[in-house]
Structure 1
Amino acid sequence: MKTTILIADDDVNIRRVIQLYLEKEGFRIKIACDGREALDILEQEKIDCAVIDIMMPNVDGWELCEKIKTYYEIPVLMLTARAELEDTIKGFKLGTDDYVTKPFHPAELVMRVKSLLKRYRVASDRSITFNKITIDSDSYKVRIKDEDFILPIKQFELLYTLASQPGKIFTRDQLIESIWGLDYEGDDRTVDTHIKKLRKQFKNFEDLIQICTVRGLGYKLEVLA
């Protein structure tokens, strides 16, 4: 079955260009002219990834992204006409996985969609494996080259979350909610402390794996080999 991409944008020209490029790559496309129509399609179709504009009538991209992340386990790529840090932070807090700023080259958008789909396929597995790294959620064990590490549970869950979608930026709030839970009464410095410990643990393997700080947003994991 073909992978299905939902395109939600009220600009017909942008929709047509994105559709053309994605269909050339073998994707099946569903089109929505606004956020409300996009939600209707999501209820009726199996969608694998959503490409959505922020400024749309009826239901805008912010609300649409929030609803998708509440009810569906799919990646979201947002299209925005402004490269403002505030918009980026707001989008990531709502759960968007990536951004493309207009005007953009359609070939770049295709590459980003492919990358998101790859990340989500990795995230669905119980064990994450890169070429010399295995992170096993059943045993809470990390193997790098031929060396095994047993991590404290919260450190492991933090590493596993970041590694489940390499390159994706996770805000501190997202990490707190995912790992410590909504009722956690501490502050987001807890995340920073655990990140520091993980970096120290894997200091000798920075040529393979790095946890990067994204100023004003949070953290992401980069696999280098």
Structure 2
Amino acid sequence: MANEERELPRKSVVLIVDDEPQIVEFLRMGFSYEGFEVASVMNGFDALAAVNAHRPDIVILDIMLPGLDGMEVAQRIRQAHDTGIIMLTAREDVEDRVEGLDRGADDYITKPFIFKELMARVRAVSRRRGLQIGEVLSFQDITLNRSTRIVTRGGRPIELTPREFELLDFFLQHPRQVLTRNAILSRVWGYHYGGDDNVIEVYIKHLREKLQDTNPPQLLQTIRGVGYTLR
């Protein structure tokens, strides 16, 4: 393998169980960009069938579902399968969280949420279950460690803000792919972001400066009218 290629983790399977199409689409896009194979259903009974069919490594499970609620789904999944379960719901009551964990969930996150936090929880649950979801990403002489938050280029440490770190993380997951502005906004800023998308240009400029990738940029290239790519 050429030294500029990063070593990919095995492809994990995530099952999204939610009856809100907007949430499903947002999660589908996010997990696809993270390298997962994605399946989705919109009710509890279909969720049980999908677990048997797809054998997912992680289930993202809403509580309020038609047919069979998420609490019952979590309990039935746990009785038959050793898959990671993260409850994703609008409920914030402590009692609901405790019940979800008692029914078999590994973790719990409330809506609205930021995708990078959900992915951090997915990685944590995966580690506890012995799954390998890449913690170290690299391309050419750039290395990013998700656990330690250390970034280097040619062995030289690079100090990044949290947003710059997430932006570089996204590019390193998809080398040579053209990432659209909408995809970058959704993945790095979250689907609730309602500000000016010119913020992307500002952060790309800062990232290029810190990576010493200027005059002209050789790594983070602009694809006019579309977005950006790491090449």
What TM-score comes out, normalization by structure 2 length?
A: 0.51
Give 2:84's aligned amino acid. Answer: P
Counterpart of 1:223 in structure 2 is none
Cα distance, 1:115 vs. partner? 1.4
RMSD of Structure 2 on Structure 1 (CA):
1.2
**Correspondence 1:32 to 2:23:** no
Deviations 1:161-181 (A, max 9, x none): xxxxxxxxxxxxxxxxxxxxx
Give 2:72's aligned amino acid. Answer: E
What is the distance in 2 between the residues matched to 1:97 and 1:43?
A: 19
- Work out the number of aligned pairs and report it: 122
User: What stretches of structure 1 of length at least 5 have no aligned partner?
Assistant: 123-225
Counterpart of 2:28 in structure 1 is 19
What is the distance in 1 between the residues matched to 2:89 and 2:96?
A: 9
Counterpart of 1:60 in structure 2 is 69
Q: Percent identity?
A: 34
Cα distance, 1:44 vs. partner? 1.5
> Residue 77 of structure 1: SS of its match in structure 2?
strand
Counterpart of 1:6 in structure 2 is 15
Cα distance, 1:83 vs. partner? 1.1
> Residue 114 of structure 1: SS of its match in structure 2?
helix
Give 2:55's aligned amino acid. Answer: K
Cα distance, 1:34 vs. partner? 0.9
What is the distance in 2 between the residues matched to 1:43 and 1:74?
A: 11
Give 1:10's aligned amino acid. Answer: D
Give 2:31's aligned amino acid. Answer: L
Cα distance, 1:46 vs. partner? 2.0
What is the distance in 1 between the residues matched to 2:81 and 2:46?
A: 16
> Residue 5 of structure 1: SS of its match in structure 2?
strand
User: RCO (CA 8 Å, sep 6+): is it higher in 1 or 2?
Assistant: 2
> Residue 121 of structure 1: SS of its match in structure 2?
coil
Q: Is the 8 A contact 1:21 1:107 kept in 2?
A: no
Deviations 1:125-146 (A, max 9, x none): xxxxxxxxxxxxxxxxxxxxxx
What is the distance in 1 between the residues matched to 2:76 and 2:37?
A: 22
What is the distance in 2 between the residues matched to 1:31 and 1:75?
A: 15
Query: Which structure has more helix as a fraction of its residues?
Result: 1
Cα distance, 1:102 vs. partner? 0.6
> Residue 130 of structure 2: SS of its match in structure 1?
helix
Give 2:25's aligned amino acid. Answer: R
**Correspondence 1:45 to 2:54:** yes
